[in-house]
Structure 1
């Protein structure tokens, strides 16, 4: 088999032109070549002797991301020792924002999956959750007991402060802990480590996500929430997901909101993740959710109230919201049964699901149930 095909990439040199700031990910076929590359002068500007900030090492997958012109020069020097792909843009996506809301307490989705019934047994205590997103509002009273430092990949010197809102909403569903004056999430005593990979517009590159996964692996996250997706099947992203999975770090990912049938977004489409679709209050599949046999579990994603910027709360809908319910449920599971492998967790979540109402596909995934998950885990 062609080595480039085995590595999942292209051999043809990238286009040296650089339309609209296009970037490439160049992956080395031999770890030793990657190490030598980092040690030599290729990452330095020849005149100033300073690191080239346009070239970003991606150590988890033994790769670099760089503009097209530099990728072209690199490809000529490496020949058949590397493969490359476009460093595609990727977005966090939810349906149009709902109104700012004043009703708080325990949101319907948290109740629907039966999380409150589990809090006498587990609250997610000390489970480490990486949230790769737009950051989190560190001033939000609902989250002050749950937040750890995390990392801002866009500005390494700053906190991963949210300037979009999406990441704060996700964080609230997972681990808010302010029931009397705000809201409470699925796993209120879990620890959130925000990884800001997306800018204020909710956009990032695949290389940003790879760096985020790398950080989560190196910092020993137990589970990672990735409430975003893309249509393109990135081989570099697949490689990062695989390495996380085999390192014991499970990724929970959203299926997408375009209502497609037989097709879901990536990384949810990779078998090493937990792929999540959305349901409504009636326990039926939400109209907007993408669906296919690749979906592992459905969870509440329609009109979900959660934390928002500047201490507020907002309703939002999307598979992003459903994904955060699943991540919180896994935190409850891991607090009760630490040490479960990603494969074991995925098997428990899927086998414990409640059958969907009026599900057309006989083999369709079911809906999340915390009670059933914990009962199944205790039988292990």
Structure 2
């Protein structure tokens, strides 16, 4: 019966009831014969947005009747709504830069870190001493050179790989390389289909580049029966890529960690704030708390995330145009910062021991902590340290 089919995401059913005549963005997960399903989409006047290389799926726009009709095909396993996600960063309320001392003397050399974000501005601290931007792909507007019309991706890139060109601010892994996928727009919103495509691209690149880590500084409040984001993330991990995700900014209540931070195999990072030394550190009030709805203990660890100084962006800049940045630096807070720091930490650990698997790295990160005296659903194993 129409709208009752179990192959349809429950959230999608609500949109189908409200949009009988309008096309709806969806992701179709396919068991077999992708070409047949693509043909059916096109013959239903659907528009295909993305095809994926590393999971059997396509994203497209379809009418409710066409969605319902497609579920009758045995080749279709599930149809998921194309949700919008949010970045995990906020403006700071006071100025307090934080320097993290890397006692290992490692710099992340020859390690690539993928970021699914708002883009990256060609900031002097990222390109003048050494061009840390190894790759840029724009899934929103189609530009072929780096830019950032929001600033979030540039800020995190600075946390990872800033190189002290204009001042004394340096990322945790200044010799690492940034592989940036722009899947979030100027408002900090991004479609699930674009995020999955971004991870798909990075997985395909990993076999012939130095890309070893993917950072996911966002959250989707979704729980479909079959989750395409979870599928692509687990595919990445199966191909020996370390995945680091933010715990989100929905704390302090329990069960406030959304996808992808609620996936067991990823390294989920909550946020911490300090007023001077480690003894003063505590889990940030906004940091997402576990457990997850399927009773997984999350986050895995916490990292500094409040009132952090990093790189700013000229959000009006577009490739080929002149740039007029007002200030090279800004101060922000959020668990996406914590995730970026831990991703950079993973890079220096990989520089030291390149054979570490995602499972090994998760163990290393969890062991590199000190307890803040809070419960495991707030701090995980504790605060990641570099000592």
TM-score interval, smaller chain: 0.7 to 0.9
Matching residue within 267, 275, 284 for 1:274: 267
Q: Is the CA contact (8 Å cut-off) linking 1:254 and 1:265 kept in structure 2?
A: no
Q: Which residue of 1 is the match for residue 223 of structure 2? A: 233
Does the alignment pair 1:254 with 2:246?
A: yes
CA distance in 1, matches of 2:245, 2:124: 27
8 Å Cα contact 1:256/1:319 also seen in 2: yes
1:128 aligns with 2:112: yes
| Alignment partner of 1:341 out of 357, 381, 386 | 357
Q: 1:297 aligns with which of 288, 295, 301?
A: 301
TM-score, normalised by the number of residues in structure 2: 0.81
| Structure 2 residue aligned with 1:375 | none
Which runs of no fewer than 5 residues in structure 1 stay unpaired?
372-380
Structure 1 residue aligned with 2:183 = 197
**1:142-161 residue pairs with structure 2 within 5 A?**
142-144=125-127, 145=130, 146-161=132-147
1:207 corresponds to which residue? 193
Q: Which residue of 2 aligns with 1:287?
A: 285
* Aligned partner (choices 296, 301, 322) of residue 338 of structure 2: 322
Asked if residue 81 in structure 1 is aligned to residue 75 in structure 2, the reply is yes
Q: Equivalent of 1:177, from 163, 167, 172? A: 163
Shift of the 172–272 alpha-carbon distance from structure 1 to 2, 3 Å rule, reads same
In the alignment, what sits opposite 2:384? Answer: 368
Structure 1 residues 272, 360: closer, same or farther in 2, change over 3 A? closer
Q: Which moved more, 1:298-307 or 1:173-182?
A: 173-182
**What do the CA deviations read for 1:133-165 (whole angstroms, capped 9, x no partner)?**
000001x11111211232111234422411001
2:277 match:
none
- Rate the CA distance shift 1:88–1:352 in 2: closer, same or farther, 3 A: same
User: Displacement, 1:360?
Assistant: 3.6
- Whether 2:182 is the aligned partner of 1:187: answer no
Instruction: Kindly provide the CA deviation profile for residues 166-212 of structure 1, in whole angstroms up to 9, marking residues without a partner as x.
Output: 11111100110016625201000000111100111111111111001
CA distance in 1 between partners of 2:340 and 2:143 (Å): 27
Give the TM-score taking structure 1 as reference length. 0.82
Deviation (angstroms), 1:74: 7.7
Aligned residue for 1:377?
A: none
- Following superposition, the deviation at residue 96 of structure 1 comes to 3.2
Q: Any idea what SS the aligned residue of 1:26 has?
A: strand
Structure with the larger strand share: 2
- Unpaired runs of 5+ residues, structure 2, are 275-279, 291-296, 315-324
1:96 is the counterpart of 2:79: no
Shift of 1:29: 1.6
Deviation at 1:43, TM superposition (A): 6.2
Q: Give the aligned partner of residue 317 of structure 2.
A: none
1:187 to 1:36, Cα distance in 2 relative to 1, 3 A:
same
Query: Would you say the 8 A contact 2:47–2:62 is kept in 1?
Result: no
Shift of 1:359: 1.3
Aligned length: 344
| Deviation at residue 10 of structure 1 after TM alignment | 3.3
Distance in 1 (alpha carbons) for counterparts of 2:21 and 2:254: 33
Map of 1:378 onto structure 2: none
